[in-house]
Chains A and B, each alone.
Chain A
Amino acid sequence: MTAPLLQVDDLHVRFPIAGGGLLGGRRTLYAVNGISFDLAKGECLSIVGESGCGKSTTALSILGLQEATEGSIRYRGQPFSGAGGPGRMQRARAVQMVFQDPYASLNPRQTVRTSLSAPLRLHGIKSASEISDRIEAMLADVGLTPEQADRYPHEFSGGQRQRIGIARALILEPEIVVLDEPVSALDVSIRAQIINLLLDLQEKRGLSYLMISHDLSVVEHMSDRVLVMFAGQVVEEGGWRQIFETPAHPYTRRLIAAIPDPDVALRRSERSERSADLPMLDGRAFVADGSVAPDVFVRPAPSELVEFAPGHKVRLAAAH
């Protein structure tokens, strides 16, 4: 069996925070508390969970933008974090990122051509004609015209800017693309166009996506597998069908039940009340159902992620 493209093993990220209050001192913020997952070639793995649960911190660790406190990340079996990790250039060819707000992520003083050619030059492509060919092919792939290459970001609509953001992420032909809320700043109709584009590109180029989204209908539509995070931990992991058809953890069920969906609101479709059968769990308690906000300054109690059906895992309090 070939190793997965990306392996994250027991990732922890803690932030030292200057303590407030009378005593001063330092406190530790437990942002990510033991996340493990594999990402396969061509797969879309989504991370869902509420604000502050550690989604972006996990993604930033993979991008090398956030140092891991503990744990390891491997890419094609090789260390991808820490001292033995790759240099910036190597990393850039492996993983890239598409941001939520395309406007903030583009330099307003650079034309599209300039912002797309810089990474190519940096990676040793000197020939002007090759650069321009690659830029034009890239723009065509994301649905823009060659003429638009010489325009500035403010001359584009929100949807077009997100296309530019995608082009910039893909210009070095990375294998993995991190999508952090890629469509949440966009209008419904434009959102649909970008979702279609992302799925087309994934198929055409065999891309692996690590997507972060709070919109569960988008997650269901796009993902192969889903990680549900709460308080820096994965509380449930499974294939998209397992998560959406037979969610096991109460927190996952709460998240799904909270989605305002027109069909459900108008009782034209029923939300499945079915939950996964958990015979092997044997009366063990779930960790946190999400009804109480977590305290990020407290180390989470011991617990384990238990696989109860092939590929379907749920977090339970440690066995006594």
Chain B
Amino acid sequence: MTAPLLDVRGLKVAARLGDRAHPILKEVSFQIMPGEAYGLVGESGSGKSVTSLAVMGLLKKPLRVAGGEILFKGQDLLQLSKREMRRLRGNRVAMIFQEPMTALNPLSTVGRQIAEMFVLHQGKGWDEAQRLAVDALASVRVPNPDRRARNFPHQMSGGLRQRVMIAMALACNPDLLIADEPTTALDVTVQAEVLRLIKELCAERGTAVLFISHDLGVIASTCQRVGVMYSGCLVEENETQALFGDPRHEYTRGLLGALPRLGSRSQHGRQRLVDIDSIISDRSKLTETRFIAPRAAEGGQP
């Protein structure tokens, strides 16, 4: 059996407010295999972003890891020094966010910002790095990459900026890409293009992806395996097909029933959407049961 690329074990994150620590993540465990696209879904505040920030070593006060391990290629990231973590970020593990403007420097051309990745992480000279930056823009299918490299971020549309983010994130061929709601701010057709780009580039390069979204459709169309988060817990995890086809946890069932499905009205007439509160008797008990399906054994035998 291949070893997981990322193995999060019993991760606990707490927020310290005054002299009390509030649990935010309650023993979250999941693995991502090399090259696998893994999705985290769940409602707002369920802990998706905190999970990804913990993996990146970017938790800020008052949040801190209160227990567990985050093994990346077998090494516990929680034991690394700040400096070692910085080296890992952008190099072996990269991240793209919902709003590229917050991650891009408004005062520097996008070509320079991508080139910087090659200079900092791969020790390239500026001339070569600038050329690689243009190649990187071409690889994320930005038209006229030569000219676009000289653009400042505000001169680009949201979809183009998100492509620049992807180019920067993939510049050093990371093993793991963390994408936190990367397309939420985009129009549907642009979203579809950006999703396809992430999917194709990562498949080509064998990059594993931790994909975070509240949109079940986005997760279904990008990920092989999905974890459902609720209130700081991973309440269900399965192969995408199985999770959507045969949801086991009542929260997952409620979530899927609450979703208007394209084409359903044509087939069945207008059905009332499931009101999750009417099928869930006690929300406080939701995290008491967890359905984590075992991974299919290597070789594809079910």
A residues adjacent to B (C-beta < 8 A): 50-51, 158, 187-189, 191-193, 195-196, 214, 216-218, 220-221, 240-241, 244-245, 254-266, 268-269, 271-272, 290, 293
Q: How far is the CA of A221 from the CA of B216 in the complex (A)?
A: 17
A-B contact pairs, 26 of them (CB 8 A): A50-B187, A158-B44, A187-B214, A189-B254, A192-B258, A195-B260, A220-B260, A220-B263, A244-B265, A255-B188, A255-B189, A256-B262, A257-B192, A259-B217, A260-B191, A260-B220, A261-B220, A261-B221, A261-B262, A262-B219, A262-B220, A262-B256, A266-B220, A268-B245, A271-B262, A272-B263
Tell me the B262-302 residues at the A interface (CB within 8 Å): 262-266, 270, 272-277
Q: Is the interface of B mostly helix, strand, loop or mixed?
A: helix
B residues adjacent to A (C-beta < 8 A): 43-44, 157, 187-192, 195, 214-221, 240-241, 244-245, 254-266, 270, 272-277
Residues of chain A contacted by B254 (CB below 8 angstroms):
189
Q: Which of A193, A195, A263 contacts B263 (CB 8 A)?
A: A263
Q: How far is the CA of A264 from the CA of B273 in the complex (A)?
A: 19
Q: How far is the CA of A227 from the CA of B43 in the complex (A)?
A: 31
Contact A260 B258 (CB under 8 A): no
Q: Which of B187, B192, B259, B261 contacts A188 (CB 8 A)?
A: B259
Rounded to whole Å, the gap between the CB of B192 and the closest CB of chain A is 4
Starting from the known contacts A220-B265, A261-B263, A263-B263, 17 additional A-B residue pairs (CB-CB under 8 Å) come to: A187-B44, A187-B214, A189-B255, A192-B260, A214-B187, A217-B260, A220-B263, A241-B266, A254-B189, A255-B188, A258-B192, A259-B188, A262-B216, A262-B256, A266-B240, A266-B241, A269-B263
Most central of A158, A217, A255, A260 by chain B CB within 10 Å: A260
Residues of chain A contacted by B276 (CB below 8 angstroms):
189, 192-193
Q: Which residue of A lies closest to B221 (CB)?
A: A265
Contact B266 A260 (CB under 8 A): no
Q: Which residue of A lies closest to B192 (CB)?
A: A258
Contact A216 B275 (CB under 8 A): no
Contact B44 A221 (CB under 8 A): no
Q: Is the interface of A mostly helix, strand, loop or mixed?
A: helix
Q: How far is the CA of A244 from the CA of B260 in the complex (A)?
A: 14
Rounded to whole Å, the gap between the CB of A133 and the closest CB of chain B is 28
Residues of chain B contacted by A254 (CB below 8 angstroms):
189
Q: How far is the CA of A307 from the CA of B241 in the complex (A)?
A: 42
Q: Which residue of A lies closest to B256 (CB)?
A: A262
Question: Which 8 pairs from chain A and chain B are nearest by CB?
Answer: A260-B217, A265-B221, A192-B258, A262-B220, A192-B273, A258-B192, A189-B276, A221-B260
Q: How far is the CA of A214 from the CA of B192 in the complex (A)?
A: 13
Rounded to whole Å, the gap between the CB of B141 and the closest CB of chain A is 14
Contact B192 A262 (CB under 8 A): no
Rounded to whole Å, the gap between the CB of A36 and the closest CB of chain B is 25
Rounded to whole Å, the gap between the CB of A147 and the closest CB of chain B is 19
Q: Which of A158, A216, A293 contacts B157 (CB 8 A)?
A: A293
Rounded to whole Å, the gap between the CB of A30 and the closest CB of chain B is 18
Contacts A187-B214, A245-B266, A255-B188 given; indicate if A192 touches B220 (C-beta within 8 A): no
